Amino acid sequence: MACRHCAVEHAAGTSCPGSFSRAASLEGQRHGPLLLRSVVGSGTLGTVYLAEHPPSGHRFAVKVLHPHLASRPLVRSRFLAEARALRGLVHRNVARVLDARRGPGGLPCLLMEYAEGERFSQLPVPLPAAEVVELLDQALDALEAAHARGLVHGDVSADNLVLGWDARGWRRVKLLDFGANAVLSASLSEEERACGMVVGSPAFIAPEQWAGEAVDGRADLYALGVVGYLLATGRLPFGFGRVGTLAAAPPHQLEPRVPEALSRVLLRALAQRPEERFASAREFREALGAVPGTSTSPRRTRTSKGTLSLFGQVVPEDGATPLHVALLDAAHGREEAGPPVSGPRVAAPEGLGVRLGLGRDAELVRVTVGDVTVDGFFAHWVGPLPPLAAQVPVELSFQGSVVACDCDVVRHVTVEEARAWEGASGLCVQFASEAARRLLGQALGVQGVPRGGPDAEPVPDGELARLLARAAVVMKDPYALLGASRGEDFEGVRRRVSATLRRLSAFGQRRLPTGQRRALEVLRRQVELAGRTLGEPLARVGFDAVRGNLAGVSRCVEAGLTDERVEPLRKAFLEARPLAESRARALFTQGHALEVGHSLEEALTRYAEALALDPLNTSWLRHYQDLRARTRAVSVALDPVEAPTASF
């Protein structure tokens, strides 16, 4: 069997030269102004590191080509050629390739956008149809942009699609590893090709790829069809190997929640002959958009059934959580005053002069700078910004000393971001030149350990600051904190808690100031408490009864909570409300009379009023459920019910 690291079979007892070894790790080494913090993963082509710009905390991904591949001129040149082609692919759903240059040990490195989030292969599948459509829609948006530039991915799989969040709290899909398939294909010898060896993730490779034929964008659409099938059913259509000639089972037969229309769309994407599939990513997207009960939008994560919350779950449109609403308000400029997100606004040392190569043909122009450390500074600039990771010339002057060198662009501050910060637009740069660092240290009066170095207190994380501010609004409401509906089932609660904790854990991996780290820990404990409150029937039933949430009480009863266990809670509940029981009984009696007289809608209203006063009366609740099911032909699990005296 071919090695999973380099796609080549090795003799028994020999190790793969491309497999990752902790001893060979580049962790702790520098790549220009960036520090390689940790290994994100190691694959067939290279090892990917999380790289950080220490003064600002800005993070990148750096892919280092495996040494055994870097030693092959054809592979090395193809690696750099693909990087040049991909720098022009700029799309919100593609993890950008920013630069390619020599890295530690002289190995070719790709500097890329760091896409934080969960890989599709780690999502708790199967997902609701609306979510499947939304995620595929964003991935297809990325493929449409790439195919328009003549770029074919060639290895779309559930492992190189990541689901994360953008700065506004919207869910954002990122497609990774464009160009990797072409580089690896260049590494195959003629003998390996003659033996039928191909590059890619076996479960996602299109039939024409297995046959060694020329492929186009329709191979990517096939692979995304496999991804959609997995998201919708929790299974791969053909297992982990080659397709063969068997047709995939219709998804709606494996998972009843899948609409037949969505099932037909996925099966067309999985057609063995390319001409029988969708002709383009746009056509695939349009077919998904026509599936009843779902709606797609590449920019907004909404479905016709509900709104996707901060932590990726669906809540009813009329029950959107305060946290979700607050995030929407912030995205549209309706945000209430909260903790400010500080922008670059610390004045430069008096007497420091700076000229940057930002003019035409890198002409040096004088700029206003701030947030100066011995490692770099923020430069105000209203014109076009040079690409991230680009090198620009700089001239520094202070008290008669002049230093000229190059600096790396490590961050952009756009006009929109500057407006939100009430600050200035521009760019952050960092130096590798010791002469520049010494001059800046002289201007700052810094001795010993440079300010802004790895041991300095990091700057507040803007994304986390927004999350903490919004979470504070709903901290005491476990439903709102988890983005759960009032009638959420217990499995759904557990999944939400797990997803939320994973999201918070990702923040915990960042360099955070002490105050934010403490606030993050408080939020984590609140999420765990919310999980305990809503995840155990006896704890939840009392919580929901006090808050008049009939749907939640119903869930607890459905979960097997017996009358004997509920009755002590009911007794305590009614003792605290001396007149409630008699009023509730009178209302229930009226409801029974109306039911006998076949005025069923009015009877339901009286029953709901009675249960608002005595929500732990399980016999009444079951009767109400049964009548509601018979008259309205809805699920036994209640949606929130509105009554004149309470809102459930």
- The C-alpha atoms of residue 367 and residue 434 are separated, in whole angstroms, by 21
- The C-alpha atoms of residue 312 and residue 171 are separated, in whole angstroms, by 7
Residues 169, 87 share a domain: no
Residues 393, 286 share a domain: no
CATH value at residue 52: 3.30.200.20
- In-domain check, residue 132: yes
- In-domain check, residue 567: yes
In terms of residue numbers, what domain contains 436? 353-444
- In-domain check, residue 135: yes
- Percentage of residues in the chain having pLDDT higher than 70: 75
CA distances from 328 to 205, 265, 338, 478, 538 (A): 39, 32, 15, 20, 34
Q: Is 455 a catalytic residue?
A: no
Average pLDDT in the 32-59 region? 81
- In-domain check, residue 266: yes
pLDDT digit string, tens, across residues 352-368: 999 999 877 778 999 99
Average pLDDT value over all residues in the chain: 75
DSSP bridge pairs for 397: 353, 402
Average pLDDT in the 167-191 region? 65
pLDDT digit string, tens, across residues 522-536: 888 888 888 888 988
- The C-alpha atoms of residue 589 and residue 159 are separated, in whole angstroms, by 59
Question: 155, 159, 371, 614: which one is catalytic?
Answer: 155
Residues 94, 130 share a domain: no
Residues 254, 373 share a domain: no
pLDDT surpassing 80 at residue 159: yes
Domain end: 82, 113, 144, which one? 113
Split at pLDDT 50, 70, 90, the class of 466 is: low
pTM above 0.85, yes or no: no
CATH value at residue 601: 1.25.40
pLDDT at 646: 27
Name the range with the highest mean pLDDT among 75-84, 105-114, 168-177. Answer: 105-114
CA 168-171-175 angle, 5° bins:
120
CATH value at residue 197: 1.10.510.10
- The C-alpha atoms of residue 281 and residue 287 are separated, in whole angstroms, by 10
pLDDT at 152: 86
Domain end: 410, 444, 478, which one? 444
Domain end: 417, 444, 471, which one? 444
Q: Which two tokens stand for residue 412?
A: 């952009």
Split at pLDDT 50, 70, 90, the class of 304 is: very low
Place of tokens 């020329």: 214
pLDDT at 294: 64
Residues 45, 30 share a domain: yes
pLDDT at 169: 59
Q: How many domains does the chain have?
A: 4
- In-domain check, residue 469: no
Residues 204, 298 share a domain: yes
Range of weakest confidence among 41-50, 220-229, 263-272, 293-302: 293-302
- The C-alpha atoms of residue 224 and residue 204 are separated, in whole angstroms, by 8
Average pLDDT in the 3-25 region? 47
CA distances from 549 to 538, 542, 543 (A): 14, 10, 9
Split at pLDDT 50, 70, 90, the class of 394 is: very high
Residues 274, 193 share a domain: yes
pLDDT surpassing 90 at residue 276: yes
Place of tokens 């002057």: 397
- In-domain check, residue 333: no
pLDDT at 76: 82
pLDDT at 575: 79
- In-domain check, residue 580: yes
pLDDT at 462: 64
Residues 102, 124 share a domain: no
- The C-alpha atoms of residue 132 and residue 110 are separated, in whole angstroms, by 31
Residues 578, 554 share a domain: yes
pLDDT surpassing 60 at residue 327: no
pLDDT surpassing 70 at residue 20: no
Residues 222, 127 share a domain: yes
